[in-house]
Amino acid sequence: MSVTFPASANARGETELHGVMAVRAGAVPNAMRGSVFGVAPTGAPNPNTPFLNGPPLFYRIDFHEGAATLRTAQGGGTGALLEAAARDEGSPWEFRDFGITRLSAKLGARDFSNTALLPVRRADGSTALLATYDAGRPHYLDPETLQLVAPVGAMRQWRANLLMARPFKQVFSTAHPCADAATGELFAVNHGRALMTLAGRLFDFVRTWLPWTPGQGRSPGEALDDLVENLRLAIEAAGGLRAVPRRFFSSVIATLTGHDERDEPSHPVEFLQWLMAFAGMLKDFAAEGPLPDEAPQKPFTYLLRWRGDGPPQRFVLVDRGLPVEVMESAHQMALTRDWVIFVDAAFKMEIDGITSVPEETPEDLVRAYRREVSRPQSSTARFYFVRRADLDRDDLPSDGHPSFPAHRVPARCVEISGEVVHFHADWEPTPEGRVSLVAVHQRAMDGAEFVLLGDRRWDGRPLPAAVLGTFPTAMAANTVGHHEVDPEGARVVHSREVRSADLAWALGLTAGPGINTWGAERPRLTDLYVYSQGLVPDQLTELIHELYDKYPQRAPWDLRRLLAQGGAPAALLRVDLHTMRIAEHFVMRDDQQVVSPQFVPEDDGPGWLVCNVFSGDASIAAGFAAREVWIFRAGDLAAGPVCRLGHPDLDWGYTLHTAWLPTVSPLAREGLVTLEDDLGAWLDDPAVRDFYERRLRDPG
């Protein structure tokens, strides 16, 4: 057995389709109804760029009377408009890839909206979808046309972490806001880290081989100035741009890669020049913008609440008197009757997240740089609980920020063992008044590192092109945990976890009754469906192996056994949350991946699970298409799919989060933010006004 990653999952096509899907096996259940929505990042694979860097392709599968109709569309919206206009304008307006982000020196950050979807109710009572992204604002998506229409909140209402002096600044938000269908409230998180903390690992890397330390009390701009100057002097001292002495890099290469001097790159100066330019770019991107005190000298975390289409209410979160600092990301939120919850998720936002090392850089040096600036995720998850009743108190003190005024509200932090990216919560409290959480613990799994240029397999072998840009695999079996939490006492009262070394390796996205569905009841969570990406040896890199080799409570014999067997195939699991066991599962072929599960409710029955499946060459030869949509009967996974659907022109790549709506109607656009609202005072800047008039303004 040899488990491989299918190349079809990394192709990232963007073909727009509209037509009936062909039934490849089985039949579409007559009782299926409503529409499943999903999203996939697009763009030509780049071995130096994570696959999450790419515009969205949205899809909708409508089920009606035993047939399935597929529609796909490139999302368009402001981001696509800006990128096309900037490309026509040329440098320095153009957007360039920087790791997981795409940035323009003149315009700021590209918002991809390519990660997750959330059904919401508009103020007029209509239903809409939000398309979301961790490094940007949520955007309204028209469910009918699959076009991005407008952001939630104007840019001036969100606080940035970088690019404050650009019209479209870099905003860190959450890919999973939460909404209350009954009240129409929408909640999101807007957070940022101190800039010196964000750039700290870059400084640490340079300190490895330059005796440089920023002076005490230096601003981020001054510290980055020092860094650029020290790099410039080091190049000069080396005797010229093409003659860097071997001793200059010998210590860092030997220390970080374990190679002796004979393996050292002979011309690392291009990398040094890039590093100097990158530090200068950071200084420029950290410059204070037109809003006073926006650049964070200290961390901030806001909870935003919308009631209708007006501006948000802003609450600055405080834990035991200190500002809450999100150390990694605020990827997931959940809402209960009494609490707003978010997790400091195991998807770290570090300086290497906006790093794209030039492809011509020698691979030994790339590995040295990534080893130095990378760090393992925290092995615990910090959940923050905000009591909803506190948000309406009259005695909340004001934060007093000149540009982002907020009320200070307490947040209770509860720490749970095992890193978490995705979790869910029961709407009602337990009989004892506790909060019931269900969390996927992605132990020793680092979804923020990606498999990139310069990486090698855990055993030193080169990597196939099919895995470059993808998520790495895990170093340990993952678990699903059921936790009863007392937020007031900031403690976990009771926990149970389910684990399987063969079936729960690199657990991914979740589905189940009441999860990302609209118009269905909010039951107490009873079953959780989750897929395992499996253990794909080609996705276990030397970097991940090194970062997580000392992971606490890891069972290394599981990894050794599975690697000796050629890996573990992908699987689809159902976890019974009452008994906390894997009640059933379906194992994929060795070259297949199953992703993007979505539960579809049934009026009088258990419902269905809709998933996307990618196949490699061996499975294609056995009769599978490279890309298919599979339908499982909920509660009967072991029987296999009741239907396999396909389309001859389907070319999407790895798909992400999904949603289900019972009916589809066009988005009502009244009250939404316009491009002119978003640009605001930036239209007073002559260069921006000229660009807007020539490239962006609608002549109609």
**Sheet containing 420-425, strands listed edge to edge, beginning at the edge strand earlier in sequence:** 420-425, 435-441, 479-486, 491-499
DSSP 246: H
- Tokens coding 414: 């509860």
pLDDT averaged over every residue in the chain: 89
Query: Which of 20-24, 29-33, 47-51, 407-411 has the weakest average pLDDT?
Result: 47-51
- Measured between alpha carbons, how far is 204 from 184 in angstroms, rounded to an integer? 46
pLDDT of residue 391: 97
**Inter-CA distances, 478 with 106, 433, 446, 508, 558, Å:** 43, 29, 12, 10, 12
- Tokens coding 95: 């957007």
**Inter-CA distances, 647 with 24, 30, 421, Å:** 9, 20, 32
Look at 426 and 224; give whichever has higher pLDDT.
426
**Inter-CA distances, 366 with 48, 240, 271, 273, 275, Å:** 10, 22, 9, 14, 12
- Share above pLDDT 70 across residues of the chain, in percent, rounded to a whole number: 92
Q: How far is CA 525 from the centre of its chain?
A: 24
Q: Is the peptide bond before 358 cis (omega within 30 degrees of 0)?
A: no
Look at 328 and 208; give whichever has higher pLDDT.
328
pTM here?
0.94
CB atoms inside a 10 Å sphere around CB 397: 11
pLDDT bucket at 353, cuts 50 / 70 / 90: low
Cβ atoms of 75 and 100 within 8 Å: the answer is: no
Strand partners, 148: 141
Mean local confidence (pLDDT), 440-466: 92
345, HSE (Cβ side, Cα atoms, 13 Å): 25
- Measured between alpha carbons, how far is 590 from 691 in angstroms, rounded to an integer? 52
pLDDT bucket at 343, cuts 50 / 70 / 90: very high
Tens-place pLDDT, residues 150-187: 999 999 999 998 899 999 999 999 999 999 988 889 99
pLDDT at 674 over 50: yes
Q: How far is CA 364 from the centre of its chain?
A: 28
- Measured between alpha carbons, how far is 515 from 523 in angstroms, rounded to an integer? 10
- Measured between alpha carbons, how far is 40 from 59 in angstroms, rounded to an integer? 8
Nearest alpha carbon to residue 149 among 657, 671, 672: 672
pLDDT of residue 257: 44
- Measured between alpha carbons, how far is 267 from 243 in angstroms, rounded to an integer? 8
pLDDT at 476 over 80: yes
* DSSP character string of 434-453: PEEEEEEE-TT--TTT---T
- Measured between alpha carbons, how far is 62 from 66 in angstroms, rounded to an integer? 10
Tens-place pLDDT, residues 360-419: 777 777 787 788 788 899 999 999 999 999 999 999 999 999 999 999 999 999 999 999
Mean local confidence (pLDDT), 648-660: 97
Tens-place pLDDT, residues 102-147: 999 999 999 999 999 999 987 777 788 999 999 999 999 999 999 9
Q: How far is CA 369 from the centre of its chain?
A: 23
- Measured between alpha carbons, how far is 53 from 112 in angstroms, rounded to an integer? 8
- Share above pLDDT 90 across residues of the chain, in percent, rounded to a whole number: 71
H-type alpha helices, 187-329? 195-198, 200-207, 220-237, 246-257, 269-285
pLDDT at 700 over 80: no
pLDDT of residue 73: 98
pLDDT at 252 over 70: no
Which residues make Cβ contacts (< 8 Å) with residue 240, sequence separation at least 6? none
pLDDT at 241 over 60: no
**CA-based max dimension of the chain:** 78
DSSP 156: G
Cβ atoms of 272 and 240 within 8 Å: the answer is: no
pLDDT of residue 271: 72
pLDDT of residue 671: 87
- Tokens coding 423: 């979790």
Cβ atoms of 46 and 103 within 8 Å: the answer is: no
CA dihedral over 319, 324, 328, 330, signed as positive or negative: positive
- Measured between alpha carbons, how far is 168 from 166 in angstroms, rounded to an integer? 5
Tens-place pLDDT, residues 551-603: 887 778 899 999 999 999 999 999 999 999 999 999 999 999 999 999 999 98
Cβ atoms of 114 and 39 within 8 Å: the answer is: yes
CA dihedral over 11, 15, 16, 19, signed as positive or negative: negative
pLDDT of residue 261: 43
Mean local confidence (pLDDT), 295-320: 91
**Sheet containing 56-64, strands listed edge to edge, beginning at the edge strand earlier in sequence:** 18-20, 67-74, 56-64, 34-41, 658-661
Residue 219, SS3? Answer: coil
Tens-place pLDDT, residues 35-56: 999 999 998 878 888 999 999 9
Tens-place pLDDT, residues 264-293: 444 466 677 777 888 888 888 888 899 999
Nearest alpha carbon to residue 133 among 173, 75, 178: 173
388: left (phi over 0), alpha (psi -120 to 50) or beta: alpha
681 burial level (CB within 10 Å; 0-12, 13-18, 19+): exposed
pLDDT at 247 over 50: no
Tens-place pLDDT, residues 504-551: 999 999 999 989 988 655 678 999 999 999 999 999 999 999 999 988
CB atoms inside a 10 Å sphere around CB 231: 21
- Tokens coding 118: 């959330």
* DSSP character string of 521-576: --PPP-EEEEEE--B-GGG-BHHHHHHHTT-TT--HHHHHHHHHTT-B--EEEEEE
pLDDT of residue 496: 97
